[in-house]
Amino acid sequence: MEKNLKNKQVLVTGASGFTGSWLTEYLLERGANVTTILAHWNPNTHYVGSGLLHKVHNVIGDLSDYDLIDRVIKENGISTVFHLAAVSIEKLAFNAPRIAFEVNVRGTYNLLEACRNSPDLIEKVIVASSDKAYGDSPHLPYTEDMPLSGRHPYDCSKSCQDLISQSYAHSYGLPVAIGRFGNIYGGGDSHWTRLIPGTIRRFYKREAPIIRLPQVGNFKRDYLYIKDLIQSYMALYNGLDRPEVRGQAFNFAMGGSWTVLEVVNLIAAVMNCSDIEPVFVQTDRGEILHQKVSVQKTAEMLNWRPQYTLEQGIAETAQWYCKYFEDRVLLGNDINDLDVNYI
């Protein structure tokens, strides 16, 4: 159980995104006062549709503006920061690397520098990294003592973000903890190019799902359900009360590895769509081939373990999206209008 969040002044970057909206809702339910910095938002997201937009203090701007971040922290008396803002879609990062590095790298050091310059306010900083920061390692599972060696734009940006966060902790004593997360999924993700929401949407429309394949072999990924993710953030929040956690990175995932086809088949079984054959296409960009995460350190130091199996998480996720689609249809909206993705 997390320490008391009531009346805590919390800054959540990326609050309008998929994971940010879930975390923001959780914090609000526990009495925290949430501030966020918004560059833009998608009207089809949970952040807008659920009314979260009107329950937090939204500051219009972006993380490239250091003076804005510094002012937001000082004027709102921010004590806790959850840094989730990022270009989080690998394809977007691949096609627009400058933007990915601006947001993921520059945005991170601007935020951490502003936190460093408010030592009387800042008590805890939680940074959302990724298992992609490890790069395409031949050694699996990933453990936290492995080098960070992302090569493709998204992976490299997360390696940089992670190392910069460690630097601020070790050089300046900033109370930072880093989460390296597996592939996060759950209801409310409006990026339809991602495997799980995209497959659910296509099955809902009785269309064949699309499975991307590398030149040789199969992609294999480790996963993390959104509700387990929220508890991982709380594990980091609680852990920062202890000096030995500060400056540390922790893996959060299920500790397994599944092919794309295995995930699609699980979704098909849940949605009674096993009669629909997938379409296979070859990817035209570089991506990590195999990923699997060790959570041993996290279990030992933070007492965190995933509570959901992949089957349970996918079942809840499919149920969430089916209700979402049905509600849109009842309102006279076409789910084909949901094609626009936002960073």
Catalytic residues: 154
- Residues 22, 231: Cα–Cα separation, whole Å: 11
Residues 48 and 42: beta-carbon distance below 8 Å: yes
- Residues 73, 147: Cα–Cα separation, whole Å: 32
Residues 13 and 85: beta-carbon distance below 8 Å: yes
How many Å from the N-terminal Cα to the C-terminal Cα in the chain?
32
- Residues 59, 258: Cα–Cα separation, whole Å: 40
Residues 335 and 329: beta-carbon distance below 8 Å: yes
Strands (E), 223-292: 223-225, 249-252, 258-259, 279-282
Residues 59 and 35: beta-carbon distance below 8 Å: yes
- Residues 293, 213: Cα–Cα separation, whole Å: 21
DSSP string, 58-92: EEE--TT-HHHHHHHHHHHT--EEEE--S---HHH
Other Cβ atoms closer than 10 A to 255:
20
